[in-house]
Amino acid sequence: MAKQPILHCSFCGRSRDEVKILIAGQDGHICENCVEHAEEIIAQELGQPADSKPGSTTAGKLTVRKPIEIKKFLDEYVIGQDDAKKILAVAVYNHYKRLNQKVDNDVEIEKSNIIMVGETGTGKTLLAKSIARMLNVPFAIVDATVFTEAGYVGEDVGSEVLVPPQGGRKHPEQKLVKINTQNILFICGGAFDGIDKIIARRVNTNAIGFNVNKELQDYQHNHLLQFINSVDLKNFGLIPELLGRLPVVTYLNPLDAHVLRNILTEPKNSLIKQFVKLFEIEGIHLTFEPAVYDFMVNKALEYKLGARGLRSICESILTDAMFELPSQKVKNFEVTLEYADRKFNLSKLSMLKVA
């Protein structure tokens, strides 16, 4: 039997599983969210208030959870990083209040775009994804490294930007699409490798040294990012024109063994729960020796892979099992420390060199 194609909304791109209703047309489909947005746009163009809809709008106003509720939602998916969660929760809540602001009001509230600074694998992307999931809005990731002087794809025209329809770099005679970014909240993030030394010079704290107590040195290094500000990012190399459009700066702490251990098992969508579910679909009950969790955490720290590296480590350990067990009549499978160590050492991941 031919595999049926996965249906998507022709406007926002969400799949059938990501929406409640998908209405079919002659040449495409539209989801309930895009219908509501279209209704709001039509109401704005006609100067009419949008109808009140439970759970979406109230008297033409967008509804969003309170900052404390937003943080609680993020706590279900992201371990730690409380400071970043609070700043994101407040920024999102204020952004929606700004969207609900009356047009004829004397005071116009400007949006507060955010830039997050943290090492690879500390949760920058996951935080942004979780916010998008909660708000049920499209989520797009753009690699800022392509925006070099020679290949910059947009021209700033007030609150509008001209971009290629398919993204990427511009080329001669290419048609550009005008997008109004006035009501788009931008959340930027980066590792900014080496910025700790810039912060250290400013706050008179040594980032490295031969005569520094190792425990004190580690503490200072792991907490330097809490002192970051726009001046440090400017000294790192970000242009003032960009920094001026990113007024909110927050940080994500490096992950220690305790936090990585919790990330592995505690979140609602934790890595271990995902693999247990994968095996459960095959009718196999997957379990782990507690020591295996510590083994994976230690490898992530050893190779400086962060939380993102935990998945690579899990995959390297379980690939053979996922390849062989579906063809065998196995109901239970336990991952022991000896099995995990042997499979990891046989994988290409074990050949990584720490920088």
Same domain, 292 and 215: no
Would the pLDDT of 74 be above 90?
yes
pLDDT band at 24 (very low <50, low <70, confident <90, very high): confident
Check which CATH number belongs to the domain holding 98 and give it: 3.40.50.300
Would the pLDDT of 48 be above 80?
no
Would the pLDDT of 277 be above 90?
yes
Same domain, 200 and 94: yes
Q: What per-residue confidence (pLDDT) applies to 209?
A: 53
Would the pLDDT of 58 be above 90?
no
Would the pLDDT of 149 be above 60?
no
> How far apart (Å, rounded) are the C-alpha atoms in residues 314 and 81?
23
Answer whether residue 6 is part of any domain. Answer: no
Query: For residue 199, what are the domain limits?
Result: 67-254
Q: What per-residue confidence (pLDDT) applies to 163?
A: 61
pLDDT band at 84 (very low <50, low <70, confident <90, very high): very high
Of 182, 180, 87, give the one whose Cα is nearest residue 128.
87
- At 236-273, the pLDDT tens digits run 988 888 888 899 999 998 888 998 999 999 888 899 99
Structure tokens at 336: 């022991």
Lowest mean pLDDT among 99-108, 153-162, 343-352: 153-162
Same domain, 92 and 224: yes
Q: What per-residue confidence (pLDDT) applies to 38?
A: 83
Same domain, 209 and 279: no
Q: What per-residue confidence (pLDDT) applies to 286?
A: 95
Average pLDDT for residues 13-29, to the nearest whole number? 82
Same domain, 307 and 177: no
Answer whether residue 2 is part of any domain. Answer: no
Same domain, 243 and 278: no
Among candidate residues 254, 284, 299, the one where a domain is terminated: 254
Q: What per-residue confidence (pLDDT) applies to 172?
A: 59
Match 């993030």 to its residue by tokens. Answer: 189
Q: How far is CA 280 from the centre of its chain?
A: 27
Q: Determine the residue type at 320.
A: D
pLDDT band at 52 (very low <50, low <70, confident <90, very high): very low
Answer whether residue 1 is part of any domain. Answer: no
Among candidate residues 196, 219, 254, the one where a domain is terminated: 254
Average pLDDT for residues 320-324, to the nearest whole number? 94
Q: What pTM did the predictor assign?
A: 0.67
Q: 3-class DSSP state for residue 57? A: strand
Would the pLDDT of 18 be above 70?
yes
Same domain, 166 and 50: no
Q: Which residues lie closer than 8 Å to 154 by C-beta, 6 or more apart?
A: 161, 162, 163
Answer whether residue 9 is part of any domain. Answer: no
Of 86, 96, 91, give the one whose Cα is nearest residue 248.
91
Same domain, 87 and 47: no
Q: What per-residue confidence (pLDDT) applies to 70?
A: 93
Among candidate residues 227, 254, 281, the one where a domain is terminated: 254
Specify the higher pLDDT residue, 232 or 208. 232
Answer whether residue 299 is part of any domain. Answer: yes
Q: What per-residue confidence (pLDDT) applies to 148?
A: 39
The mean pLDDT value of the chain amounts to: 80
Q: CB-based burial of residue 52 (10 Å sphere; 0-12 exposed, 13-18 middle, 19+ buried)?
A: exposed
Q: Which of the listed ranges 41-55, 114-128, 133-147, 330-344 does the model predict with the highest average pLDDT?
A: 330-344
Q: Which residues lie closer than 8 Å to 76 by C-beta, 6 or more apart?
A: 267, 268
Answer whether residue 11 is part of any domain. Answer: no
Answer whether residue 10 is part of any domain. Answer: no
Would the pLDDT of 234 be above 50?
yes
Would the pLDDT of 63 be above 80?
no
Same domain, 193 and 233: yes
Q: Which residues lie closer than 8 Å to 351 by C-beta, 6 or more apart?
A: none
Answer whether residue 77 is part of any domain. Answer: yes
Check which CATH number belongs to the domain holding 336 and give it: 1.10.8.60
Same domain, 227 and 94: yes
Same domain, 44 and 77: no
Same domain, 168 and 309: no
Q: How many domains does the chain have?
A: 3
Would the pLDDT of 80 be above 50?
yes
